[in-house]
Structure 1
Amino acid sequence: MTAPEDAIRARRRLTNKIIAAHEATRLRPFFTADARLIAGDGGLILGADQIVAAFDGQFRDPDFIDYVRTPGTVELDAAGDRAAETGRWVAHWRTGEMSGAYMAAWRRQTGQWVIESELFITLAG
């Protein structure tokens, strides 16, 4: 059986690949229905449907290339049902890039790790 930390890191790598492929609808299963995302500019996006719609909007920008999130740490709670991922992110456009730090809260739901909240802080770009 895969260790939870390894499973979360693998799911993060997969979301990076889906974003690079600009396939917004494939991101839906990675979020709880009531997920919350605070974007790098401080904007709040509520719910998986709105998060996927926000990705889709960015994918329509012809200059957008990808987001790459690189986990630094993944910590589990005592029960092993929730986890905190922290790391660095970078966004690439044909015209430049932005980067910063992030934190994600993961929850084990029906045997799979899903994101319940994410916070991105833009520090450069």
Structure 2
Amino acid sequence: MTAPRDAIAARRRLINKRIATRDAQGLRPFFAPDAQLIPGGGGLILGVDAIVEAFAAQFREPGFVAYVRAPDSIEVDAAEERAAETGRWTGNGMSGTYLAAWRKVTGQWMIESELFVTLA
């Protein structure tokens, strides 16, 4: 059995690959249906459908440069049902920090919320 930290780190690498290939629909399995995302510019995106559409819209932009999320730490609760990932993100000439909340849903780690802060 894969350790939770390793499983989450592997899923993050897959998310980075989907973003690099502009595969918005390929991101759907990584987000819980009721996921929430606060992008670096502010605002709130509610639900996996809206999150996938937000990515698709960015991917259609001619000057889009892939975002990369690089985890610094992944902390897992004692029950191994929830986790917090923190790290740095870069892309489109910007960078900052992020926090992702993960939960285990039917044996699979899914993002329930993400917060991105643009710092540069």
TM-score by length of 1: 0.95
Unaligned runs of 5+ in 2: none
User: Per-residue deviation at 1:113?
Assistant: 0.3
Tell me what 2:67 maps to: 67
1:34-113 paired onto structure 2 within 5 Å: 34-92=34-92, 97-113=93-109
Structure 2 match to 1:22? 22
Count the aligned residue pairs: 120
CA distance in 1 between counterparts of 2:41 and 2:65 reads 18
User: Any unmatched runs of 5+ in structure 1?
Assistant: none
Runs of 4+ with >4 A deviation:
none
Q: Give the counterpart letter for 1:105 in structure 2.
A: A
Structure 2 Cα separation of the partners of residues 81 and 62 of structure 1:
39
* 1:43 Cα deviation from its structure 2 partner: 1.2
Identity, % of aligned pairs? 67
The whole-number CA distance in structure 2 between the counterparts of 1:36 and 1:18 is 19
Amino acid in structure 1 at the alignment position of 2:115: L
Deviation at 1:78, TM superposition (A): 1.5
Over the aligned positions, Cα root-mean-square deviation in angstroms equals: 0.5
Paired letter, 1:13: R
With normalisation by structure 2, the TM-score equals: 0.98
Q: What displacement does 1:4 show?
A: 0.3
